[in-house]
Amino acid sequence: MRRALLICALLLAVPAAADAQATGGTAPVQTPGVTGGNTAGRPFRIPPVIRAFSASPRSVVWGGAATALRFRVDAVNLRAVRVVLSVQRRGTRTVRRVSLGRVPTGRSVTRRWTRAGVAPGVQLLTLRVVDSRGRPLARAARATLTVRVRPRRKPAPAPAPAPAPAASGVFPVRGPHTFGDGFGVDRGDHKHNGVDIAAASGTPLVSPRRGTVLATGYGAGSGYYVVVRDAERDHAYVFFHLLAGSTIVREGQAVDAGQRIGSVGSTGHSTGPHLHFELWAGGWWSGGHAIDPLPYLRAWS
């Protein structure tokens, strides 16, 4: 998806600047911020320049605080310019484009970026000033950002976990993990129906409580999935994006709390290894509804 485009404005500027020098005292002095004309009377433009582009902090935990993008655009006779960020995970070809909107020129600006949809890994960030049709107007500026998966610190004695909604249970991801998008997060055409828990591919997944396997299978969005119905309460636990071939339970099988059902993967609609975990009350689909599993997950971790 990357296109190398010729920056025509730059090519125009060079001969024009040379003309201006050749005519000596009569030509205006060429300084950044000034538009001049060449000898044919055609205006030329000095392309905008992106300066001091940085992403801070340079290393973040997946699902953690937003990244501050700092930069400055100097441009001739333009008070604001359109800026687009391209994000490419090192070693992959997928590029996400994030519009940063119009930014004022001639001074440092900071834009908060939530990194929505960005998976763990080293991310190559490319900043471009573009015209109204998305064509680059300036040389791109680059920076890198490391998004890492790290075990949560010993959970600080949680702010009184919601009045014990959860009976005893086992945290479904048995290994280092971090929380990503939560329940109800806006996904454009739908609300996020569960909680994302990032962990290394292959990390064991277990049933949080004793129950029965209600369903296993594969869906385009969910990837490989497993659903477990709680033996004691009217709850169902839904696991998405399992590693291909890792499902080790079958429909109708009884499982214990802590019993392995499969492994963390990234199958289906997923940008990196994580468990998408849902908790349904009153039945899975048939008459039931998903509720926020976070209080339960916290109680189990």
Q: Binder to Zn ion among 211, 222, 276, 299 (CB under 5 A)?
A: 276
Stretch that binds Zn ion, among 104-112, 208-216, 272-280, 286-294 (CB under 5 A): 272-280
Stretch that binds Zn ion, among 12-20, 125-133, 150-158, 269-277 (CB under 5 A): 269-277
Tokens 């997923």 locate to: 270
User: Residues 230-249 vs Zn ion: string with x where CB under 5 A?
Assistant: --------------------
Give yes or no for a cis peptide into 48 (omega within 30° of 0).
no
User: Quick one: which of 242, 263, 249 has its CA closest to 212?
Assistant: 249
Q: Binder to Zn ion among 48, 87, 183, 196 (CB under 5 A)?
A: 196
Size of the site for Zn ion (CB under 5 A): 2
Name which of 53 and 225 has its Cβ closer to Zn ion: 225
Q: Shortest distance, CB of residue 279 to Zn ion, whole angstroms?
A: 13
CA distance 227 to 216: 6
DSSP assignment letter at 116: T
Name which of 44 and 62 has its Cβ closer to Zn ion: 62
Residue nearest Zn ion by beta-carbon distance: 276
Contacting residues for 153 by C-beta, under 8 A, at least 6 apart: none
User: Residues 86-125 vs Zn ion: string with x where CB under 5 A?
Assistant: ----------------------------------------
User: Residues 154-193 vs Zn ion: string with x where CB under 5 A?
Assistant: ----------------------------------------
CA distance 247 to 55: 39
Give yes or no for a contact between 198 and 63, defined as CB atoms under 8 angstroms apart: yes
Name which of 46 and 147 has its Cβ closer to Zn ion: 147
User: Residues 46-85 vs Zn ion: string with x where CB under 5 A?
Assistant: ----------------------------------------
Q: Shortest distance, CB of residue 222 to Zn ion, whole angstroms?
A: 9
Name which of 196 and 230 has its Cβ closer to Zn ion: 196
Name which of 192 and 298 has its Cβ closer to Zn ion: 192
CA distance 55 to 85: 11
| Integer angstrom CA distances of residue 290 from 126, 183, 189, 268, 279 | 38, 9, 17, 20, 6
HSE of 186 in the Cβ direction (CA atoms, 13 Å)?
2
Q: Shortest distance, CB of residue 113 to Zn ion, whole angstroms?
A: 20
User: Quick one: which of 251, 252, 277 has its CA closest to 264?
Assistant: 277
Name which of 44 and 179 has its Cβ closer to Zn ion: 179
Strands (DSSP E) contained in the chain are 49-56, 59-61, 67-74, 80-89, 95-104, 108-113, 121-130, 141-148, 177-179, 195-199, 204-206, 211-219, 223-230, 235-242, 254-255, 260-263, 274-281, 289-291
- Would you tell me which residues interact with Zn ion (CB under 5 A)? 196, 276
